[in-house]
Amino acid sequence: MTRTAAFIGLGIMGGRMARNVLKAGYALRAYNRTAAKAEALRPLGATIAATPCEAARDADAVITMVADPAALAAVLEGPDGAMAGCRPGVLVIDMSTVDPGTSQAMAARALALGLRYLEAPVMGGVSAAEQGTLTIMVGGTAEDFAAAKPLLGTMGKKVLHAGPMGHASVLKLSANLVAALIVTAMNEGLILATKAGLDPALVAEVLAERAPLIERAAPRVLAGDFAARFPLKLSHKDVRLALATGRSLGVPLSALETVAELQTAALAKGLGDQDQIATIQVLEDIAGVRVRTR
């Protein structure tokens, strides 16, 4: 892998990941739909592109980090899309969380254009993105994985080959569905015990023994801190993708169906831009109790 990368999608995660690519000495060509987020990288040495196609031109690798399958298609396909700007043999690395079908379809389109393609969704959150300590799950050929590993290593401390195209997407959706289930179970446990008259701080201390995610999230619920580390609307997107993948494989995900319903109610309350833990506000309204530190 040579040393010029295009980075497309500079949101909560992507902007931090792109900074680590720059710090590692790569020349970076950056594009974001909201131009101001790309401009923030210019003082660090990035070249700012007006379109994904322009960003991909002359790059040795193209990284995408966008919200969902529709956003991925928007930045990769069409005359202004990144694939139109790639020279033959360029490696396209999608680090978004999408479904396996999307990854497989995009890989096929890339191959038809003489390009290489990897899916490489990440796990670890905003802090890990900032520190370059993400876990990165990669789907694609072993040869392309080996070529991309030095670049991916600038953003993650653990870079894992999950298998052929589609496997990394399934692995990431599996991890995120577990996180959504843990958050929902935590919220229900907090509501139940608080409604019964227990001190929420005591409840949170005990529940934290069950999972590191609860240890991090419960204090934020008690403080009423719903600022997005992982926005509810993105968690809901991942839950829906996991459910669709389950249906395609004939796998029942009944507990996740319940989580999806709770998240839908929270979105209807306008909580989509808050953190995924904000679903507790729906449960609070139903139970008639507030879970906050007394």
What are 88's two structure tokens? 């033959």
Query: Which candidate in 23, 37, 172, 237 is catalytic?
Result: 172
Q: Which amino acid is at 276?
A: Q
* Separation of alpha carbons 51 and 30, rounded Å: 9
* Separation of alpha carbons 205 and 201, rounded Å: 6
CA atoms within 13 A on the CB side of 249: 15
Is 157 annotated as catalytic?
no
Contact 188, 180 (CB under 8 A): no
- 3-class secondary structure, 61: strand
- How far is C-alpha 97 from the chain's CA centre? 5
R_g of the chain, CA atoms, integer Å: 20
Residue positions annotated with a catalytic role: 172
